[in-house]
Amino acid sequence: MAKAGDSVTYRQTSSSAGSAPYTVKYDFASGTFKGAAAVVGTVTVNGATLAQAGVGTIYLDPVTGAALGQDASSPGASDTVTSYDPPDWQQRLANAGVVGGGSGKIAVTATITGKSVTDGFASLGGATALVIKYEFLINRDANETVSTAAGAFANSCKFRVEFSLKDFQVQGPASTNPLLSVLLPTLQSSFVVPTQVTLWTTNAVPFMLPKSVTISTLPAPTGAITTTQELVAVTKAPR
């Protein structure tokens, strides 16, 4: 898990028409989240904007490494935070298939609060939170060596993950507005499309993954888009 002084840089490429590769660097330091100690990862993006990359400052539990929340990447929405239940869902997901060939499911609830939510639903009377419930299905494959620009990582755990949207709720006054039912299908489609992810994990990387390949299937005529995220540089603080 990430510690203060760690730094990792990833390169992301996509098969989407007109897309260009970009890099995302996370620098970790000691800080706080909602008044409690946290490891804070600040982000630097090259080749895209923060909003285009869909990333923002992240906050991790300093003991377990669990994701506590993430600031919104959109300009003017820095008070927008996503929190998760369970907070250690990423670790649980990885542990769902402990042995080669294993599989498991995990339910995850994401709660989004802050400026982008209140502003986005102001015309419907206002909202206090978006609550999104997902179900992840994970399959564990045999360990293998994964090669990245930052080097090869032997005996990495390999997983194949699929996720689906189970529920989407708007909390606050907007939840009783009749117009919300008209907007919900569009809102739901903006948060999830049929997606399959192949990913590798290793203790040699202090945060995230050495490599992941995501295939998202969008409506015609776009079809399947493949996105690859690959580690290109890593610096680890003393353990």
- What tens digit of pLDDT does each residue of 81-91 get? 788 888 877 77
pLDDT at residue 76 in the model: 46
For the beta carbon of residue 45, count every other beta carbon within 10 angstroms: 18
Per-residue pLDDT for 109 more than 90? yes
pLDDT of the residue at 101: 61
Quote the pLDDT of residue 222. 84
What is the rounded average pLDDT of the residues 99-115?
81
- Kindly report which listed range (18-22, 49-53, 199-203, 205-209) carries the lowest average pLDDT score: 49-53
Domain ranges of the chain: 7-235
Helix (H, G, I), strand (E, B) or coil at 131: strand
Q: Note the pLDDT of residue 12.
A: 96
Fold of 7-235: YmcC-like fold (2.40.360)
Q: Which pairs from 123-127 meet CB under 8 Å and 24+ separation?
A: 124/173, 124/174, 124/177, 124/179, 124/180, 124/183, 125/172, 125/173, 125/174, 125/176, 125/177, 126/172, 126/173, 126/174, 127/170, 127/171, 127/172, 127/173, 127/174, 127/175
